[in-house]
Chain A
Amino acid sequence: MNNLARFNLAKQVKLYITKGIQDILRLNSKLKIGMLILLVISALAILEPVINQAILGPISPITPGIFKPLLKPSREHLLGTDLLGRDLLALSLHGLKYSFLIGIVAGFLSSFIGIVIGFISGYKGGIYDSILRTITDFMIIIPTWPILAILATYIKFMRIEGLAMILAIFTWPLSARIIRGQVLSLKERPYVDLAKVTNLSDFEIIFLELMPNILPYIGVGIGNSVIGAVLAETGLEVIGLGPGNIVTLGTLLNWALGFGAVIMGNWNILIAPVLFLISIFLSFNLVNVGLDEIYNPRLKKVTGE
């Protein structure tokens, strides 16, 4: 990069930061609430080892037979215990940690793939676009979840990274679509032509001109990917599929269903996983909608002529 470009880059970074701060101050309420919930959940997930240490000591929350089974909520066990004598609060927090973790890892992986593909598709156009777009649409339209389920049936043991990888492979089209759409509409804008005329390289055009306007959509893409990943993963766990070595909120729901907890009305077994799951989905969704409201030009309020 020549000196001019380096200077531009520094200016650009400063612009990002100031714009970012301006934008945070402009946050609409949905975004704020969403981020708040997200903060709470992340805190719970990160602090889970500490909390569980406090409740159970060094024992893992999924170990059965520690306490008496099916206890009602009490001071010792805030949510009671399940059929196998496990403290429900500790168990739920454990599940939350893994659901959240997998969601984030798979989500970021998935959105990374989606962003790269969406970008190439939108920016390069032509044959690249045709092929990539066909693949993307193909994967969105076809119910891929049954295929994922088939894969999951035969995989009984897997590490988190592997699981995240597989989830990412099935969920990247969600963000690819959004990014492609945005890149396409930005490509038409005059400043890209201007940049082309002033001889900036493709790389420079992407980072200096297009990126700032795509960032919010990248955020939305990540949000969608995380939601998609958690949905897929939980959906698998609920019916009993998926790696048996990882305990997530979906697994907890599956166990609960297996005990007949729903029929017997043991709401204490269900309440924490259900609430945690709803919070994960809700928070990411609110952040998405908030970002969309701020940055979508059609929804933006017009000023002046």
Chain B
Amino acid sequence: MKRRSLVTWLLTRIGWYILTLWSAVTVAFITFRLVPGNPIGAYVTQLMQQGKYEINPVEAEKLINEYKKTFGLEGDLLTQYICYFKEVIFHHNLGVSFISFPTPVQVLIIRALPWTIALLSETTVFSWLLGNIIGIIVGWKRGTKVDSVVTSLALVFSQIPYYIVAVVLILLFVYITGTLPPRGAYSSTLYPEFSLTFFLDVAYHAVLPSLSLILVGLCGWLISMRSLAVSILGEDYLLFAQAKGLKEHRILSRYLFRNALLPQITGLAIALGSIVNGAYLVEYVFNYPGMGYLFVTALGRLDYNTIQGCVMLTIFTVLTAILLIDITYPLLDPRIRYGGE
């Protein structure tokens, strides 16, 4: 009985995932195509202007059609849709980049993706874990001086956009003290390889971007955990735990933390989208060669296919991460694992 409901739940959840994924990428696709203006035309005009050619309409027409074929922009919306997704799903072909022609988009993305995933993973894990732990402690000690100070600080920091913190950090550490590098993932003098020097260099370059994300994220999780802790402290089972005369650390960990963890995991899944958004901007500020930087530069240069590829991949990554988080939830909440009466 119990196992059957769990499997049903799992299947339903995966079904939702596929449905959401499909709708999201379709919406993104349609947004692209519906936007006024002819990107190819604009691009070709740009090219011609760059080369200081006169804009010859006949030649332009021919060129535009050529490009359209190459970039899969022929035919009406439905044809383009089917064509695009056929390429993506079966051939892993996301098209060709305008700007870095003829580099395929997927190559650009594969180069950039690891940096973003690495940055996001370590910063999210750090800020979520640390933020939650500090939040519990502060919530437990609510009303004390420590609580007021920490919470006030956290309140101030939690609402500052990541990129502003990034800017301030750069000012402080690059300009004023010159201790940390302002851009890139690794020094231009080094070549990517599996060596200690390289890893240290990468870590060195990752400090400021990570800090920008962690400082703000930590404060956010701190605050939400604290208010969760405060509400759980009002619960009957917490009162009972105290009446039982349990030791403080046991109440904190097994009664407070274990119960507050569950909503925070859900909260993580929900916040993932905006964390990614923020991270992209931070990458831009630091010229960190991840998806964010790729996306923003592509936007600036109207690199159609790359923009599209980035958006698709971002949606896919975020939704998959959320699915994974959601799947781990029943492992921790016995009320779902063993559906009761």
Cβ contacts under 8 Å, B295 to chain A? 146, 149
Taking residues whose C-beta sits less than 8 angstroms from the other chain, chain B's interface range is 35 or more
**CA A151 to CA B27, docked complex, whole Å:** 12
B164 at the interface (CB under 8 A from A): yes
Given contacts A235-B277, A239-B281, A286-B155, contact A142 B300 (CB under 8 A): no
Cβ contacts under 8 Å, B23 to chain A? 138
> Which residue of A145, A153, A257, A278 is within 8 Å of B285 (Cβ)?
A257
B311 at the interface (CB under 8 A from A): yes
Cβ contacts under 8 Å, A277 to chain B? 160-161, 164
Query: Across the interface, do B277 and A140 meet the contact criterion of CB distance under 8 Å?
Result: no
Query: Across the interface, do A281 and B155 meet the contact criterion of CB distance under 8 Å?
Result: no
Cβ contacts under 8 Å, A234 to chain B? 161
**CA A289 to CA B274, docked complex, whole Å:** 20
**CA A146 to CA B277, docked complex, whole Å:** 8
Cβ contacts under 8 Å, A274 to chain B? 164, 167-168
| Interface of chain A residues 15 through 41 with chain B (CB within 8 A) | 30
A231 at the interface (CB under 8 A from B): yes
| Interface of chain A residues 71 through 95 with chain B (CB within 8 A) | none
Query: Across the interface, do A278 and B160 meet the contact criterion of CB distance under 8 Å?
Result: yes
Mask of B144-159 contacts with A, CB within 8 angstroms, 1/0:
0000000000011011
Given contacts A240-B300, A265-B171, contact A140 B160 (CB under 8 A): no
Query: Across the interface, do A154 and B36 meet the contact criterion of CB distance under 8 Å?
Result: yes
Query: Across the interface, do B161 and A235 meet the contact criterion of CB distance under 8 Å?
Result: yes
Count: A-B pairs, CB below 8 Å:
135
Given contacts A142-B24, A144-B273, A281-B160, contact A153 B302 (CB under 8 A): yes
Which residue of chain A lies nearest to B285 when distances are taken between CB atoms in the complex?
A257
A229 at the interface (CB under 8 A from B): no
**CA A241 to CA B305, docked complex, whole Å:** 18
Cβ contacts under 8 Å, A143 to chain B? 273-274, 276-277, 314-315, 318
**CA A153 to CA B310, docked complex, whole Å:** 15
B319 at the interface (CB under 8 A from A): yes
Query: Across the interface, do B300 and A239 meet the contact criterion of CB distance under 8 Å?
Result: yes
Given contacts A257-B285, A281-B159, contact A263 B175 (CB under 8 A): yes
**CA A285 to CA B311, docked complex, whole Å:** 30
Given contacts A143-B277, A231-B161, contact A270 B167 (CB under 8 A): yes
Which residue of chain B lies nearest to A228 when distances are taken between CB atoms in the complex?
B274
Given contacts A154-B36, A299-B231, contact A146 B171 (CB under 8 A): no
> Which residue of B159, B167, B302 is within 8 Å of A253 (Cβ)?
B167
Mask of B297-310 contacts with A, CB within 8 angstroms, 1/0:
00110100001001
- Name A residues whose Cβ lies closer than 8 Å to a Cβ of B: 30, 138, 140-147, 149-151, 153-154, 227, 231, 234-235, 238-241, 253, 257, 262-265, 267, 270, 274, 277-278, 281-282, 284-286, 289, 292, 298-299, 302
A-B contact pairs, 22 of them (CB 8 A): A138-B20, A141-B272, A143-B274, A144-B273, A145-B274, A147-B28, A149-B295, A150-B32, A153-B299, A153-B302, A234-B161, A235-B163, A239-B296, A262-B170, A262-B174, A263-B182, A267-B175, A274-B164, A278-B156, A285-B159, A292-B227, A298-B234
